Structure 1
């Protein structure tokens, strides 16, 4: 065979080899590029421009104890789907305290409605000797954490019993920082305290609450009406009020703590009342968390 023929054959062989290698590389790039795998596992699809969490993941509501500024312990509960969070809620626990399963039940229930919930441990240093300044300081720390560390702009506050009283006081101080407040069966809330709130506040009471006489609740409603601050419902005209709207709802034929008795509720009528309470709360949150007027 001549030298020219040998060179030609060799060149053709090299070209064939290069072509075969190119096919292999193309195949490898296609099946192992972004979003592809060569094995049998499938990579979750990532939402673009709306969420950075993979689709197809089985989410559960997660609750955990964390420590924030100045050593404050906080029970944090995040919604099942992080992409659908509506806002954040500071939950002020009642006299049963931070570790009560009933208070944690409320936190989990709110998270199932797509709210991130932060419940500070208000009695961390003991309930005796706890001053109003201590309470506000812990609310301040929680607000700072939610805004600075979790980037929340829409924040509400909810409290039961003792916590409901603290919500009434907080709603008189945190204009521009809290979008809405909900106070449930709070004792020691005078008509003047209700009138002093500067953010939309919803008071919820039971008709047969031994700790909060119904006459006191009626007094709150009457003063609010006289001052043109009473909002019958979120469907009423808000613009005509002389200040931040305040609403009061009395649930009939029920007693104290009817909405946060957790998994021990065996009374059908009590369960229905509790569900009605949460429905009213959600309506208040959804309306004022999206409002630009406060």
Structure 2
């Protein structure tokens, strides 16, 4: 069963990150487990479940939350989900970057977790230019695949500038991202120079190692031990950062899958690894964003 599960996750990751063809996904899953019904159950266990989105409460009395537009330049806006401790004063700001499904309830929940740890948080919808993230995650993935990554990187860098001037903020801005969002964290670290105070990437595919010299912010990089696709880019990226004398800490969590932090995916979530990575993440963000 473990071999079947591992192969199923590989097939699903190919669907989400490569071919995006659900007919191919279903055909390969049926070949693995023998029937359409069993394949659908397996797919549902690997995919994120909106019903399991909230670990924190949207109306938590310790927080102030809102969702709406924010300006990143003259005549330019993005939609974002904001969460902050009540009466937050002199707090660092953390940009929370979604996966390739766009801004979902799960990512909003992660933003609240960040806020409960003492930061102001904003989770931008980087599909804002295409009308916003749709409820259908397959449509969202198609939209992400067609998005202009150079333009989105510019929007993220502009968000750093906008958030540094937030009321109650201390001017320091960090960024955390997951999967597609982890890849964007690396891109933003290359593009933002000294504007970024800290970056945390969870299993994010890395840029060309030749770009490591442009990174100024300290980075914390989390990798899944069974995630060969991302490791193929992550290993040379970490090596290049270290060779360039950059402040980088990288952890690989043995025996866990890509997306191990996503507690809405029953088959991939790994609580011990997720808890440890989160503890390290919050300590890292406090180290670089407090004061």
For structure 1, which runs of at least 5 residues remain unmatched after alignment?
1-57, 230-243
Offset of 1:221 from its aligned partner?
Answer: 3.6
Q: Name which structure has the greater RCO, CA cutoff 8 Å, separation 6+.
A: 2
Normalized per residue, the structure richer in strand is 2
Alignment partner, residue 286 of structure 1: 286
TM-score by length of 2: 0.65
Could you tell me which of 189, 196, 219 is aligned with 2:236? 219
Alpha-carbon RMSD across the aligned residues, in angstroms, is: 2.6
Question: Which structure 2 residues correspond to residues 1-294 of structure 1 after superposition, within 5 A?
Answer: 59-69=61-71, 70-79=76-85, 81-83=86-88, 86-98=91-103, 100-126=104-130, 127=143, 129-150=146-167, 152=169, 153-213=171-231, 215-227=232-244, 229=245, 244-262=246-264, 270-290=270-290
User: CA 1:133–1:187 in 2, change beyond 3 Å: closer, same or farther?
Assistant: closer
CA distance in 2, matches of 1:273, 1:123: 30
Normalized per residue, the structure richer in helix is 2
For structure 2, which runs of at least 5 residues remain unmatched after alignment?
1-59, 131-142
Offset of 1:265 from its aligned partner?
Answer: 5.5
Offset of 1:272 from its aligned partner?
Answer: 1.6
CA distance in 2, matches of 1:172, 1:140: 10
TM-score by length of 1: 0.64
Which one has a bigger Cα radius of gyration? 1
Q: Secondary structure at the match of 1:219?
A: helix
Offset of 1:114 from its aligned partner?
Answer: 0.9
CA distance in 2, matches of 1:167, 1:137: 12
Q: Which runs of 4 or more aligned residues in structure 1 lie more than 4 Å from their structure 2 counterparts after TM superposition?
A: 264-267
Tell whether the 8 Å contact from 2:91 to 2:290 is kept in structure 1 after alignment.
no
Offset of 1:141 from its aligned partner?
Answer: 4.1
Offset of 1:216 from its aligned partner?
Answer: 4.0
Q: Secondary structure at the match of 1:95?
A: coil
User: CA 1:163–1:59 in 2, change beyond 3 Å: closer, same or farther?
Assistant: same
